[in-house]
Amino acid sequence: MKRIVIPAFPVAALLLIAAPLFAEDAAPAEQAVRAAGDTAVWKYFAAAIAVGISCIAGGLAVGQIGSAAMGAMSENPELSGKALPYAGLAEGICLWGFLVALLILIL
């Protein structure tokens, strides 16, 4: 088994270069309040996108898995128990999207 070694220098250099990009200056109180009001609207859009995309992806995955499982069960009926966990895993995508949206709205 091959091991992948990540050199420390490029990682440290990336962190040193990226740190100033995310630094903020101290903003006056009125600008902070205005910025908080602007971000309140965007978090609802972000939550809706998280749920929407994850549910669409989960629906597509369940459709593909369901059709493949039905085709396999028509050939061999004993495969019905083995196909069910895969459909459950695909539905878990929707659950993760909902949890991400919930965290966006709470935080």
Scanning the structure block, which residue is given the tokens 């083995």? 82
Please count the structural domains in the chain: 1
Q: Which domain holds residue 55?
A: 46-107
Domain membership of residue 104 (yes or no) is yes
pLDDT at 78 over 60: yes
Q: What is the pLDDT of residues 33-50, one digit of tens each?
A: 666 667 778 899 999 999
Residue type, 24: E
pLDDT higher than 80, residue 27: no
Instruction: Give the span between the Cα atoms of 89 and 76, in whole angstroms.
Output: 22
Within-domain flag for 7: no
pTM score of the predicted model = 0.61
The CATH number linked to 90 is 1.20.20.10
Average pLDDT, the chain: 81
